[in-house]
Amino acid sequence: MSCSSKNTLLETKIGSLTLPSPVIVASGILPHDEHMWKKIQNDGAGGICTKGLTLNKKDGNSGTRIYETYCGLLNSIGLENPGIKTFLDTYIKDLHQAKGKSKLILNLAVETLSELEKSLKLINKKKDYIDVVELNISCPNVDGGGMLWGENPKATKKAVSCARSLWEKSLWVKLTPQAKDIKEIAVICEEEKADAVVVANTYLGMAIDINAKKPVFKRKFAGLSGPAIFPMALHLVWKVSEAVNIPVIGCGGITQPEDAIAMMLAGATAVEIGSILFKNLNSVKDINNGIKNYLLKHNYSLKEIIGIAKRG
Amino acid sequence: MFKEEDAVIIENKKLTSDVFKLKLKAFYVASNIQAGQFVMLNCGFGNDPFLKRPFSVAIKDESNITILYKKVKKGTTILSMLKERDILSITGPLGKPFKTSKGAFSLLVAGGIGIAPLLFYAQNLLKAKSPFYLIWGIKDKSWEGLVNFIKTVIPKEYMSIASEDGSIGHKGNVYVLTNSVKNIISNSFPQKTIEVVACGPLPMLKELNILKKALNPLKIYVSLEKRMACGWGGCCGCSIKTKSGIKRVCKDGPVFEYEEVIWDEL
């Protein structure tokens, strides 16, 4: 086993950042509530993502927002958030204090380039409180005909390049599995100097109310998360980590240590967990313990297991 | 602060063809929960169903809580099959409790299984010797098992029941009891201000104006129900529009002032 002591066994490096553990809480899960952030950091989270933020306040979608499916759930929340300015004025200080050793990851939804610019200018004023900006490119590009930013290589290039020019600290890009060629999108993120890619956001799905004879969600389609999507997310992590040299953060359907370990064996440097926290709020601790036991049992460092399944 | 704990099933008893009484040993929740708050409960084991379900607590003692639930779909069907000594993960206490003013007359208005959190509150009012009355609308005689159970907790002089077909109590929905409750209050508590606390199906809550007009209460509180994934304010799956902006039923509620809710948007 390499030189890691027990305390640093779970540390993982993403660009210039050293995370205390490879388990990060994904965006959209925790409220901006310092008590909950404190609990999660005490459980050993590598990082905690904010809710998805936009320049202007959003009330979110009307109608049904949550619908349970086999081993997962569909959501159509619609980025309900207080807007960047209110977030920075009201919450960032307390969350920064609460997050302890965990990294504070500000999830920023890309809607238009001008909003992205304005948001980043505001964010820069509070940059000491923020470790990472994670770009969410799963929103429709209204200027570009409504296709998701992350489905289109040219749009992705514009968004990442814009963000990189305005944000000097760590920049991660959360990719959408709806992209036709996610490897191509990941390569563009790397070329535009993103520090990492998160693979991936929710899969689009839908539900139909057979009695009302119409879709359950007002926006028809919704994001599928939970263990139902794990094998598909794992597949994307495997593919993307072959295509880029920057770190890949695996995300999608992780519920147990075995899933997180599989993601890392497939090439992920860290993982994000989300829906499982709705079921088990101690998941960060449970998954970290499982990873630690695996490393000790197999006499590996965390770094050594990244992508090891490919070398088999 | 809420916590997750493993709760042990003490009893999972069928009261009617589809209503069950679930008693759980859950020390942390039992010693911290207040009337009107709820818990999120795993309905079974493993990842399907994936989400916990929200349930109001109806009765509690030092170490146990009792939930009343109706078997509706997959989650509650699985729950109904669980046995004594099975262990379920539970999160709680969640949400904000009921709170009527000291010295006010509390009128509790329940529809169907919405009786659960009001049962808890009624026991508090009984203990505090605070004046109250419970009116409860149910479907029909098939609910008799639950009615009998409620009567073991709330003395009959504190309660009136209406059923849709008149097979138990008065005939009609809960609001047919308006006049009789108005008489009770004006005869026995003419000086008291009235505060209403209601829990039940949405159509019933939307008609609370009937009571507002008849009784001119100082406040009306409603306990709302929405689909939710977390129960602690994270997912924003249960958000509703109110006059003071978007609110989460799980964290800002489930108890809201009737006047605050924008009912047409629900």
Residue A132 pLDDT exceeds 80: yes
Residue A6 pLDDT exceeds 70: no
Cα distances (angstroms) measured from residue B221 to each of A78, B119, B129, B134: 29, 15, 21, 14
What ipTM score was computed for the predicted complex, to two decimals?
A: 0.94
- Nearest Cα of chain B lies from the Cα of A59 at a distance, in angstroms, of 7
For B54-83, write each residue's pLDDT tens digit.
Answer: 999 999 999 999 999 999 999 999 999 999
Percent helix, strand and coil across chain B, each to the nearest 5: 30, 35, 35
Query: Distance (Å, rounded) from C-alpha A73 to C-alpha A138?
Result: 18
- Nearest Cα of chain A lies from the Cα of B47 at a distance, in angstroms, of 5
C-beta separation of B90 from B40 below 8 A: yes
What percent of chain A has a predicted confidence (pLDDT) above 90?
94
Residue B180 pLDDT exceeds 60: yes
Determine whether the interchain pair B50/A73 forms a contact, defined as Cβ–Cβ distance below 8 Å. Answer: yes
For A172-186, write each residue's pLDDT tens digit.
Answer: 999 999 999 999 999
DSSP state of B169: S
Q: Which of A34, A57, A65 to mutate to test the interface with B (most CBs of B within 10 A)?
A: A65
- CB environment A3-36: b (16+ within 10 A), e (fewer): ebeeeebbbbebbebebbbbbbbbbbbbbbbbeb
> What is residue A312's predicted lDDT score, i.e. its pLDDT?
63
SS3 call for B176: helix
For B215-241, write each residue's pLDDT tens digit.
Answer: 999 999 999 999 999 999 999 999 999
Cα distances (angstroms) measured from residue A186 to each of A147, A152, A218, B260: 17, 11, 31, 47
Residue A2 pLDDT exceeds 50: no
> What is residue A3's predicted lDDT score, i.e. its pLDDT?
46
Token digits of residue B230: 């977390």
Token digits of residue A10: 């779970």
Residue B141 pLDDT exceeds 90: yes
Provide the whole-model pTM.
0.95
Which positions in chain A touch B51 (Cβ < 8 Å)?
Answer: 68, 73, 278-279
Cα distances (angstroms) measured from residue B58 to each of B21, B27, B100, B110, B113: 9, 16, 18, 13, 10
First vs last Cα of chain A: how many Å apart? 19
Active site residues of A: 139
C-beta separation of A14 from A7 below 8 A: no
For A19-63, write each residue's pLDDT tens digit.
Answer: 999 999 999 999 999 999 999 999 999 999 999 999 999 999 999
